[in-house]
Structure 1
């Protein structure tokens, strides 16, 4: 029915509502719009919380099933297996010359030594007369 009316009137539907006594766009209350927006935001937050709760519940159920399978077949969690593998690799490579290099060798940059500036370091390696010239 609405389609037939819209098709018959064309674009005059908005104007017809105003003529009959409908609410004009200019008469809308900004405070009412603000309240509607707050209600909409609250509804969105509530929907998001419900979605997260549902997801967490499903994930807990999946974890129970996974744990049941692990118990049945004597399997370990992936994180535990990966940690054990990394520890075993480190243990094997302890004395190896091909082991992975550490970022900073032990004893380097411990902070026990007093830091020298670049200028003082360069001055140590310059000949005496040149040092005297640069000190002035």
Structure 2
């Protein structure tokens, strides 16, 4: 009968102590295993980044081949050339475009905006407006 009970419970008797509040068995190599696991994760991440860097370099080579084949310039190159051309034409010219003046720099007549009281007065009935206007 004792044999049957041990077979039925199996390894559950070891866990019973933990469930009842007993101390857990500590693995002496747990810290070393955790460090190894962290190092393996770091290596995998580095390999993944290197793989994607290689793939992006290959893609850029293909893109550059297409640009060379069809005479297409990169967006950055186009923008730089356009900016240089504008600088060159406007450098000594008497007819160059004037720099834009930001709004509110005093070149326009500024109208006074109605205050809060005036805004509220517009929504009051006529009799109330008269009362407030008399004061």
TM-score relative to the length of structure 2: 0.51
- Distance between the aligned counterparts of 1:26 and 1:90, measured in 2? 76
Aligned to 2:6: none
Q: Return the structure number with greater helix share.
A: 1
Instruction: Report the equivalent of 2:38.
Output: 41
What CA deviation, in whole Å up to 9, does each residue of 1:22-73 have, x standing for no partner? xx862213x5221122111111111111111110111111011101111110
Cα RMSD (Å):
3.3
List, as ranges, runs of 4+ consecutive aligned residues in structure 1 with deviation greater than 4 Å.
Answer: none
Q: Does 1:18 align with 2:17?
A: no
The alpha carbon displacement at 1:91 in A equals 2.6
Distance 1:25 1:55, change over 3 A: farther
CA contact (8 A) 1:70 1:76 kept: yes
TM-score (norm 1): 0.50
Residue from 55, 58, 66 that aligns with 1:69: 66
Q: Distance in 2 between matches of 1:97 and 1:79?
A: 24
The alpha-carbon deviation at position 90 of structure 1 amounts to: 2.5
**Could you tell me how far 1:89 is from its partner in structure 2?**
2.5
Aligned residue in 2 for 1:98:
98
Cα 1:25/1:73, change in 2 over 3 Å = farther
Change in CA separation of 1:66 and 1:97 when aligned onto 2, cut-off 3 Å:
closer
Q: What is the aligned partner in structure 1 of residue 53 from structure 2?
A: 56
Q: Distance in 2 between matches of 1:60 and 1:48?
A: 18
Whether the aligned pair in 2 keeps the contact of 1:93 and 1:99 (CA below 8 Å) is no
Q: Unpaired runs of 5+ in structure 2?
A: 1-8, 17-21, 102-135
